[in-house]
Structure 1
């Protein structure tokens, strides 16, 4: 228990979006039972206010026909079954719309709290659900006590609201005995609307507070420890050590390919100790292409490979620095360097031609 308490105290970090999405996929959502109840009561209010009279008329007409012809109904088994079936059909027809309205209101009350979630995890059998000890802990937990107290307060508040709505109508109720059926229906509808209005006002307030409370508790449950945040970052972004190792491997492979291209270069322009840029030019390209470049140790290696492959190495510090900063590997040099590079390559070509023309 102490470890669990410490774990709860360590959950100080706000949940990540991934943690919230995972909770929704498991079916762990913000859910207040008061919000669907409010929507169902609202549907009941609409039905009583606008559809109670037509529904009563649709129900009374066929029943009045039955009552007027009771003497004609056979009392044998077949006749009674027919009466029951007909009465059930009438009730089903009249009550189908209210039932559908209640179902839609209940679904809407849940969907307004969270998006539609399909999860079978709650259907997976778990020993904790059938464990007597776990059940006793749930019954006598602080959450159960809070739910019980909340229910008592809700009943009291709703009761007070209903009394305040009905008490002004108490003197009027004394005359109900002398009222006919049509008048009684109107009085009943009026009182029902007053009661439902009072209950809706109270339930709307209760539902709003309960939703905020349930959301606060849900967000508290989703809080994460610093270690959980680190582990999630590693899962999403990758282990930093592994990423660094992969980066080193890629750089080594790129450097190896670059060095393999140096012998095919036309010239290497250097600074002479810090920068080196290897350029390749032939008639098939519109402009010289950078096949290798580097600074310090890599620049030294490029010069060594170039000398070993008999590639001319020309010292031109301003041009070497400018080319290193402005051209990428396997890309053509920018136009602003055409003139300077052309002079270097021209010089190299003249050197090669001079060597070919010289005989020992």
Structure 2
């Protein structure tokens, strides 16, 4: 059943799926690669500090084998010898421990990066189910792990057998010379053996790292239905999107009505269209539309304009063209400059006539290219 479900997962995992897996502590990890890095770091530290390690070993031997007459009768001899030997031993193992610790911390960054998940620390008692455990053993992942273990055993065993056979004469010579020479030769053999062991483990770890990355991606794959559900969840339901759109429209209209009192003129198509224009020759290159609407919204624009004594100019073709071509907050297109200029000139003359008590001018009848009205040509 699980294999069938995995076969249905044909889609690559989404970023959300990978992020959720990471939060659960599910990231690709290779114990073989980490082990190889730790071994190689330790061997490198052992080889690079071999001379100093020899000096520390000699000091430990001196502490245990050479005493003065006064030291033999001193009451603090055991403690002094113990602390001295501990200090020398720390000098031997500190570089190795530091190198292996850094390698252990750096290894996870090569595959999956550093990651801490509190959820991964929570106990999961279903892992104690023996039946489920048997199922995992015979699953593809369990078989791969078994194959890797057998491969490691075979490769490392063959390498160690070959080393013992090739180095047998050198190993027999370690006890025939001086103590210092024997220790140096033993450390050299140990370093070379550790280096070969680390290289073999590194080769296995490199292959394992590629497999772990592939297996992690395979386990995180999604079905087409899961991908659609996640997309729907991230985008939101149609009802929610409609509600958000409605709220956005309401907020946009509210801001538009707040800007409307700044208009210089409202061009109308008596009942259907209303477009409010603002122009400041000191700050604007061309007049811009600060409000527009049709039907009910057009009526509201006319009412607000009337309450603020903003002139209404009836020019149906121009009103429809402005509504079709210009968004709120945008300047009118160059193709409507002449028509809009006629309206603004009329508004200026109208204000002058009212101020001086003379006969107002005739309203303009600006000509507009019918193609600029778009779908509103016949409104």
**8 Å Cα contact 2:271-2:299 kept in structure 1:** no
CA distance in 1, matches of 2:261, 2:53: 96
Deviations 1:33-61 (A, max 9, x none): 01111111112221332212321221222
Deviations 1:168-198 (A, max 9, x none): 4444555445333333234334433432333
CA distance in 2, matches of 1:304, 1:140: 74
TM-score, length of structure 1 as denominator length: 0.75
Matched, 1:205 2:207: no
Task: Give the unaligned 5+ runs of structure 1.
Answer: none
Residue 59 (structure 2) aligns with: 61
Residue 92 (structure 2) aligns with: 94
Q: Specify the SS of the correspondent of 2:49.
A: helix
Deviations 1:202-245 (A, max 9, x none): 22211110001011111111112223323333343322332123
CA distance in 1, matches of 2:90, 2:260: 89
Task: Give the unaligned 5+ runs of structure 2.
Answer: 361-379
Q: CA deviation at 1:134?
A: 3.9
Q: Which deviates further from its counterpart, 25-34 or 271-280?
A: 271-280
CA distance in 2, matches of 1:79, 1:263: 99
- 1:1-360 alignment, distance < 5 Å: 2=1, 4-69=2-67, 83-84=81-82, 86-139=84-137, 141-165=139-163, 167-173=165-171, 175-176=173-174, 178-251=176-249, 268-269=266-267, 276-279=274-277, 290=289, 292-294=291-293, 298=294, 302=298, 306=302, 312=312, 314-317=314-317, 319-325=318-324, 327-329=326-328, 336=337, 338-345=340-347
Q: Specify the SS of the correspondent of 2:314.
A: strand
CA distance in 1, matches of 2:269, 2:249: 23
Q: Which deviates further from its counterpart, 21-30 or 80-89?
A: 80-89
Pair 154,40 (structure 1): closer, same or farther in 2 beyond 3 Å: same
Deviations 1:93-152 (A, max 9, x none): 432332222222212222332332222112212221344444444455543343222111
**8 Å Cα contact 1:268-1:303 kept in structure 2:** no
**8 Å Cα contact 1:269-1:314 kept in structure 2:** yes
**8 Å Cα contact 2:278-2:289 kept in structure 1:** yes
**8 Å Cα contact 1:43-1:101 kept in structure 2:** yes
Pair 172,316 (structure 1): closer, same or farther in 2 beyond 3 Å: same
Q: Specify the SS of the correspondent of 2:101.
A: helix
Q: CA deviation at 1:90?
A: 3.6
Q: Which deviates further from its counterpart, 215-224 or 58-67?
A: 58-67
CA distance in 2, matches of 1:44, 1:259: 74
**8 Å Cα contact 2:37-2:198 kept in structure 1:** no
RMSD: 4.4
Aligned pairs, number? 351
**8 Å Cα contact 1:267-1:348 kept in structure 2:** no
Q: Which deviates further from its counterpart, 57-66 or 135-144?
A: 135-144
TM-score, length of structure 2 as denominator length: 0.72
